[in-house]
Amino acid sequence: MIKPMITIKDLEKIDIRVGKIIKVLEIAESDKLVRLEVDFGEFQRTILVGMKQERKNPQAEIAGLQALFVVNLAPKTLFGIESQGMFFDIGYANKNHTGFGNT
């Protein structure tokens, strides 16, 4: 299914920022989600990301790295934790893996 086209005005609504992943925390109740604590300089956010099944050790692999995030997405609560944005996957050092758009 082809999704509808968006306009430049639609794109201007999205606030995409670079953030530094300062912590990656386990969510024991979830088979997919981890909790990221992200520093954007002026503020910090908690963002839940479904990457447990994609990475063997998310804490070791992405803590301390920078990535792109949508910071003006409406918050959503999962497993009692409010997720305050959306993560754009940073890819892999191994060229056999790629991935974008994880939430």
**So what's the pLDDT on residue 56?**
84
Q: Which numeric CATH code is attached to 14-88?
A: 2.40.50.140
User: What's the whole-number mean pLDDT along residues 50-64?
Assistant: 89
User: What's the whole-number mean pLDDT along residues 86-92?
Assistant: 77
Of the pLDDT bands very low, low, confident and very high (cuts 50, 70, 90), residue 101 is: very low
Among residues 92, 96, 43, the alpha carbon closest in space to that of 67 is found at 92
Cα separation, 78 vs 70, in Å, equals 18
Of the pLDDT bands very low, low, confident and very high (cuts 50, 70, 90), residue 92 is: low
Cα separation, 98 vs 67, in Å, equals 14
User: What's the whole-number mean pLDDT along residues 4-8?
Assistant: 93
45 close to 87: Cβ distance less than 8 angstroms = no
Among residues 77, 51, 75, the alpha carbon closest in space to that of 62 is found at 51
Cα separation, 63 vs 12, in Å, equals 29
